[in-house]
Amino acid sequence: MPEGKARLAFGVRGRLLAFFLLVSLVPLAVLTWLSTTRFQNTLMEWEFENAEVIVGRIDEELASTLSRNIEYALFLAEDHTLISPEVPPEEKSRVLAAFVKDHPLTLSASLTDASGIQIADSGKAVGEDKKRP
């Protein structure tokens, strides 16, 4: 086969191959890129929506916990046994232990003086220094 005919045959083959690539693979690549971009955007939107829901739930839980703890503190502050200086520490510790027993979400309760030394504790740890360093 002469060289000119080989170039012409390869040229037609090359043109057909180039045409196939342009018609089939280039649109496929464009669709792939568009789909990936749309998926990323949708995924980001879902993540932001989920984050907002999670933050809302955490906010509700923290508000509930804080409110409950304030109620507990006010309840304990009105207890005559705990605020009276004449009542011995052992009796105050018994009141705190009963409070912890009646409130399962409360792990411990303690009463400290102004210097941070425990006067009474639900776990009998009286006398510990509870000041923050």
Q: How many CA atoms lie within 13 A of 65 on its CB side?
A: 8
- Statement: residue 5 has pLDDT above 70: no
Total count of residues recorded for the chain: 133
- Tens digit of pLDDT for each residue in 43-90? 999 999 999 999 999 999 999 999 988 988 888 888 888 888 888 888
Whole-structure pTM over 0.75, yes or no?
no
Query: How large is the angle between the packed helices 26-77 and 89-102, nearest 10 degrees?
Result: 140
Residue 120 β-bridge partners: 111
Which residue ranges make up each domain of the chain? 1-78, 85-133
Strands 118-121 and 110-112: antiparallel
- Tens digit of pLDDT for each residue in 93-105? 888 889 889 888 8
